[in-house]
Each structure stands twice: as C-alpha cells, then as structure tokens.
Structure 1
Amino acid sequence: MTSQLPVVYAAVGLTALALALVSRSVRRLPLSEPLVALLLGVLIGPHVLGWLDVPEPVAHTVLLEGTRLLLAASVMAAALRFRARALEDVVKATAVLLVVAMPAAALITGALGLLLGLPPALALLLGCCLSPTDPVLAASVVTGEPARRDLPGRLRRLLTTESGANDGLALPLVGVAIACVLPTQAAGGATQRVLVDVLGGVATGLVTGAVTAGALRAARRRGDLEPGPALVVTLLLALATLGVARVLDVAGVLAVFVAGLAYGAVLDVGRHADDDQPERSAQDEVDEAVNRYAVLPVFVLLGVVLPWREWLALGPPALLFAAGVLLVRRPPVVLALRRPLGLSVGAAALAGWFGPTGVSALFYLAHSEHEGVTDPRLFAAGTLAVTASVIAAGVSAVPARSAYARRASTGHAAGRGEP
C-alpha cells in the first residue's frame, strides 16, 4: 500500500497545483474551487481518462489523515476569522445550532438513509457523519470581498463559528453511533469515551492556545518575532495542537478550534480594535488561501475514488436520498429556529442552505471505517451526499448570495432591514 502513496500524492498534488496557478481565472467561473477540483478528479480518474486509479485501502488512509490535517487548518482559520469580542452576539445562536440543529440533522439524515435499505444503526451512523457543516465549503460563501459586501457580519460570524465548532462536537454523535453498529462495543463505554474525548479536547485546546498567545506576546515585546513567521504561527499552532491531542487520545479537531478561540481571546486582552490591522489583513489572506486551495487535493482525490458502481447499486432511492440531504437535512430546521437564532426569513433560508457537508463528513466516514465499520454502503451513501452538497454549494453560492443582497437592499429601501 505504501508504494502507491507517492503516486497518489504526486497526481492529486500536481492537479491541485495547476488549479491554484490559474486561481484568478477559476474565481471568474460560476463554480467554487472545490467543485472544479472534484470535476478534475473525476476527469483524471479511472472512469474517464484513466490516469489515476487509487486502491481502496490507500484512498481511505489518505482521506483519513488528509482530511484530519485540513480540518485542523480550516477550523483554526474559522476560530480566528473574527475577533473574540465580535463573536459575543452569536454565542447563543451558535449554541442553538449545535444543540438542536446538528442532532436534528443527524436524525433526519439517518431517516433518509433508511430509504437506501440501510440497517437503522448504520443509517444513524451515516446521519451523524453528515451532521456537521463544513468550514471549507462554508468559507467559499462567507469569506472574501463579495461576502463582506453582500452578507451581514452577524450572519457570516454565525456560519463561521458554527462550522468550526460542530466539526469537533460531531465526535460524540459519531462515537455513540459506531458503538450501535459494532456489537463488540458497549454503548455505555462509548459514551464515557466520547466524554473524555470532548473534555480532553477542550482542555488541550485551551492550554495550547493560551500558552502560544502568551508566548507570542512575550516574543513581540522582546522583538524576537519576524513578520513572516508571525503569519504561520496559527498554522503551526493547529498542527501542534492536533499532535498533542492525538498523543493524549482526545478529540483533535475540537482541540484545534478551541485553541484558536483561546489564542484569539488572549491576544485581544488589552488590545485596541485596530492595533494589528495590517497584520490581521495579511493573516486573513493566509487563512483564506488555506481554506480555498490547501483543501483542493482532497476534492481531487474524492473525484478519483467516487464509488460509481456502489451508487448504481443503491438504485433510484439514491436520488431521493441526495435530494433529501440537500433540502430536508438542514433548511427546514434552521427556518423553524429562526426566532431563537435572531434571523429574518431570508437570512435563515440562506443559513439553512449554506450548511454544506464536505471535508468534515469525509473525515468521519474514514474515521468510522478506521474504527471497524466496513460496510461499503456507508462510504457510498456518504460520498453521494458530499458530492451533491459540493455541487449544490458550488453552483449556488454566487447567485444565492447576490439574491440575498438584492432582497436585503429592497427591504432597506422599503424601511424593512434584513438582519
């Protein structure tokens, strides 16, 4: 298996590199970068040009570790996209989405999985894997100048904070669901295990984030920190936190998100709003580049390994399942919660639609197989949902955002503000 890894890294890396080198032209397309990368993966894969055919064990290994690393970088960027004090107005709404909307998404998607003939326990695991929203795909909607121009700041902060937090907090749902699928695991022991994972992850993130921020402030006072290294400190913090969490056997992705929040909060203490504005602008560019381009190899690989035969074996219900994931998994739930979320109908509709499933779902699908759930229908149904979500988000991000901006502008003109 290891002899195949260099070929896979070279092929998907060169394809993603070529895509990054024409990034300005890609940005002019009515498609997102992940969708273009996915289509390129299909093109070079075994069913079209046949340039790359990845054995299943290799694919799952690369997906597991690759998505873990990319999620760490992405949730760190999400945690630092806004100042800690700027997130105060979305704390309650984020809690509502995490406590109500995410479990509801898991149950709804699990029910949709029954359409595919999956056993109830496997369908529930599928729903849990697909329950978190994806910070990578969400970044294409909430970052950049068009997003700052068209969307209210509170809505962007809410979608960013939710997508960063629920990637780690989906672990308890997935862990308990895995115990339900595997008869050798006791549900009580699994519950205890995920509690340790979550609490340990939070504690690890708090320590690494706060200590790093304190060390950074001390280095700046001494004049030891150059501007270049300062821009990659957060990426190094993400990698270090993930490594420490893995050594301690606690939730790594959650630890990284908490580390980002702690890091930002400590740096904000005693600092004026514009103290580091030039540095923050440069940091934002680094974070956006990571979210938009470092993730492209994963989507190239996904396009190569899409399980077309398994999709066909699912039969016509697969179309109903994919449509249900897009239309039922999240939008009705967020619309129903719009009052406690403090959102207008238009903002709730946008937040409901742009809660895509992507890299985080791929991570949990690969994690489930690593834990012993080897039923191929789980990966087939999960990748079908991810592919549908990537396509839907990729083609609708620009028009939906523009439509929201027009509606909000009309509302303001008529004296009806759109929060």
Structure 2
Amino acid sequence: MLLMTSFALVGSLAVLLAFWSAGIRRAPVSEPLLALLLGVLAGPVTNLVDIPDPAVTGLTLEIGRVLLAISLMAVALRFPVAGYRSVLRPVTVLLTAGMLGMAVLTAGLAWWLLGLPVALAALLGACLTPTDPVLAASVVSGGPAARQLPARLRQVISAESGGNDGLAFTFVVVALAATTGGSWSQRLAEVLWGVFGAALIGLVAGYVAGRAVRGAMSREEVDSGSLLIFALVLAVAVLGVGRLAYTDGILAVFVAGLAYNAVIDSRSRVSQQRLDDSLTRYLVLPLFFLLGAELPWRGWLDLGWAALAFPAAVLLLRRLPVALALHPALRLPWRDTLFLGWFGPIGVSALFYLSYSHEEGVRDPNLWAVGTLVVAASTLVHGVTAMPGRRRYAGLSQPQRRPSARTACDVR
C-alpha cells in the first residue's frame, strides 16, 4: 500500500510536469522543489506515506547513486567537448581551490554554530561541498537559460557540477578516516585508487562505447531513440563496473561521458543531449519526494536557533565568498562570478554522501538532520531564485547571445 501510494503521487506529479514542461522553466519553482513539497504533504502533513527510518538512508543511497550517474552522463553530453576545453581554467580553479575553500568554510560553520566535533564537522562540510548537477540543470538548461545566460557561463556551471560530485569522494573518505578512526594509509589508498581507477575505467569505457556507436552509425544500424537509451545504459554500466572495482563510480561515469562525447560525431551528440531534459527532470522526483516524506523534523527542532542560522550561513557563506576570492584566477566577468557564486545548489550529491557516510558507520543523528536541513533549504531557495536570477543577469548583459551558442537541449 505504501509503495502504491508513493507511485501514484509521484507518477501524477510527473504527468502534470510533462504537460507543463515549458511553463515550469519560466516559473519561480523547480521540479525537485515541487516533489519535495509533495513529499511533505504526503508524509508529515497527512501521514499517507511513512517509511521506516532504517530504510530511508539505504533507499536514498541507491536512488541517489543511480540518479547521479544518469545526471552526470547528461552533463557530459550537454555541450561538445570543445566547449568544455574553453572553460578548463575556471573549472579547474573551482574543482581545486574552490572545493577546498567550500569544504573548510562549511566545516567551520558547523563547528562554530552547531558545536559539532571537528571530525564530524569536517565530514558534514565534505558532504555539502559538491554542487548538485540535477538542481544546477534547472538553472543552465532549457530555452530560457539559453536566452538569458551565455554559453560559457552555463558550461562552467555544468562542468563544475559534474566534476565536483565525483571529486567530493576524496574529501568524504578523508573525513571518514578522521571520524571513524580508520587507518589513514588504507583511506589514502582508497582515495588514490578511487580517483585514478575511476578515471581509467571511465576513459576506456567511454572510448570503446564511442567507437562502437560511430561504427554502428556509419552502417546506419541505430536510430536516435536507441542512442538515447544507449547513453542511459552506458551510465549505469560504468557505475556498476566502477563499484565492482572499488573505485569512485560517480567519477567514472562523468569521465566516461566526456570520453564518449569526444569520440562520437555531432549527429549522435545532438540525439543524446535530450537525455538532459527527457530523463533527469523526472527521475529526480522520487528522491525528493522521499526526502520530503521523511524529513527529520524532530532533529531539526532539537537544533534550536541553529536550525535557522546554519542553513542561512551555509547558503550565504559556503560558496559566494570563495568565488569572489578566486575571481582573479577564474578570469570571468564580475557578473559571471557573482552568478556562479550564488547558484551552487546542494541536493542529490549531498544526500548521496550523507547516506554513504551512514552506511560507512557514522550514525550520529546530527549528520543526517543537519545535512537534510541544508538540502531542503537549498532546494527551496535556489529553486525560487533561479528564474529571477537569470532574468536579472540578462538585464545586466549588453551583448545579445548568438544562436550558434545554443545546443539541441536548449531549444526546448
């Protein structure tokens, strides 16, 4: 009965969003926010859905893992690889100094405002560091985004959200070693193999898959619909191989997507760019519905005044000061730096790493309560401000964007 009710509610929401697919891009809400609100209505408000607590983190972990894999494949295929090369410098800065700065600032806020132990605060900071690719897609993809934001800014946000989801694994594993008291040498080996092994698996899988698709296209053995499904199953397959090899499967999928993108031709790429809108906009709904239905309200209330102060401090201080400090190194216009400094939403990736930490033995209830509080706040705030923020940016921009900067996934 519980599953049937959940399926009925999420399915009905997906149908309504499909009918309103164009309007939702112009509305001051996002699909994840609507799913979150529906979950709150079905869970705490009406008690239609009540999932046992032990099952919540396990479901969140596995749903989040698959959703991240599909989302990162979509990110890798959103632009031609040449477009990603043009933003290599700012993305590299954000994935190194930027991630470190965000992790340290978030951990410091958790230690200061919440009184968490240093190790647990560091783990929370690591989990909340990555920019979410699903929530970021609502800001940078679609027709309104293509008209209001320059292609280069959208490429920076996309590439960063793809790269830092996988690289956050290194921060989380190091923080887990401090939290659980595990062997530092073992954790270091896990980090090194997790990153370099994932890169190797992703490169090989993406290259082989790309060559296979090019060969099939030259023989006219596949159509555009098959290519779309192929990108989906490639993401899931690489995720599985990465996990079996004990590497960072999330990073492996993103690298595989970039390698695959570099090999396939333009016809194949245009067909598979629809992965962004066709799947990720709807696959995210169950996870945020689950989050809304099982939000730890009692844990939030136990935080007292910090339940308001900490999310506000994270949203204001986690990313924007770091972006402003790195402005000279980013070499972006000031308005671009301000925009990407604000739009760094926290969502699926944070939920995944919070659940992963729980599965790795960190059972402190504060980690899950505080982490989900920030995710809910980010989903609300960034979902509501995305459309006005894009319009404000477009109003400040003088030159008109050229149509050639748009991709197939932007035209809808």
Question: Are positions 1:357 and 2:346 aligned together?
Answer: yes
Q: TM-score, normalised by structure 1?
A: 0.91
Q: Which residue of 1 aligns with 2:249?
A: 252
Q: Is the 8 A contact 1:75 1:256 kept in 2?
A: yes
CA deviation string 1:42-61 (max 9, x = no partner) = 0000x201100111111111
Look up the match of 2:275. 286
CA offsets 1:269-327 (integer angstroms, 9 cap, x no match): xxxxxx52xx5444333322222211111111110011010001011022111111100
What is the CA–CA distance in structure 1 between the aligned matches of 2:77 and 2:9, rounded to whole Å?
A: 29
Answering whether residue 362 of structure 2 is matched by residue 373 of structure 1, we say yes
Letter in 2 for 1:55: P
User: 1:248-268 deviations in whole A, cap 9, x for unaligned?
Assistant: 111100000000000011225
| Contiguous gaps of at least 5 residues in structure 2 | 401-412
Range 85-94 or range 397-406, more displaced:
85-94
1:372 alignment partner, SS class = coil
Specify every segment of 5 or more residues in structure 1 that has no aligned partner in the other structure, as ranges. 269-274, 414-419
Q: Among residues 314, 325, 350, which one is paired with 2:314 in the alignment?
A: 325
The residue that corresponds to 2:391 in the other structure is 402
CA distance in 2, matches of 1:92, 1:225: 37
The amino acid of 2:328's aligned partner reads R
Kept in 1: contact 2:242–2:249 (CA 8 A):
yes
Aligned equivalent of 1:311: 300
Q: Is the 8 A contact 2:61 2:356 kept in 1?
A: yes
CA distance in 2, matches of 1:211, 1:8: 42
| 1:165 correspondence with 2:163 | yes
Pairing 1:139-178 to 2, within 5 Å after superposition: 139-178=137-176
Report the residue type matching 1:76 in the other structure: M
Secondary structure at the residue paired with 1:168?
helix
Q: Which amino acid aligns with 2:369?
A: A
Q: Is the alpha carbon distance of 1:293 and 1:258 closer, same or farther for their aligned partners in structure 2, counting shifts above 3 Å?
A: same
Q: Which shifted more, 251-260 or 239-248?
A: 239-248
Deviation at 1:336, TM superposition (A): 1.4
Q: Residue by residue, what CA displacement relative to the aligned partner does 1:348-400 show, whole Å, maximum 9, x if unpaired? A: 11001111110000000000001010101000010011111111111000001
Q: Supply the AA of the counterpart residue of 1:202.
A: A
Which residue, out of 316, 327, 346, partners 1:338?
327
Counterpart Cα distance in 1 of 2:189 and 2:275: 38
d(CA) in 2 for partners of 1:339, 1:290: 37
Is 1:14 aligned with 2:11? yes
The residue aligned with 1:31 is 29
Q: Distance in 1 between matches of 2:345 and 2:234?
A: 26
Q: Of 100, 103, 115, which residue of structure 2 is paired with 1:103?
A: 100
Identity %: 49
Between the two proteins, the alignment pairs up a number of residues equal to 398
Please tell me whether residue 209 in structure 1 is matched to residue 206 in structure 2. yes
Asked whether 1:94 is paired with 2:83, we answer no
Supply the AA of the counterpart residue of 1:221: S
Which of structure 1's runs of 4+ aligned residues deviate more than 6 A?
Answer: none
In structure 1, what residue type is equivalent to 2:355?
A
Cα 1:346/1:227, change in 2 over 3 Å = closer
CA distance 1:192–1:242, shift in 2 (3 Å)? same
Give the corresponding residue for 1:134.
132
How much has 1:28 moved relative to structure 2? 5.0
User: In terms of mean alpha carbon deviation, does 121-130 or 342-351 score higher?
Assistant: 342-351
Aligned 8 A contact 2:166 2:248 in 1: yes
Is residue 2:77 matched to residue 1:80?
yes
Q: CA deviation at 1:224?
A: 2.1
Secondary structure, in 3 states, of the residue corresponding to 1:352?
A: helix
TM-score (norm 2): 0.93
Tell me how far apart the structure 1 counterparts of residues 343 and 5 of structure 2 sit (CA, whole Å).
31
2:403 matched to which residue of 1? none
How far, CA to CA, are the matches of 2:76 and 2:378 in structure 1?
A: 23
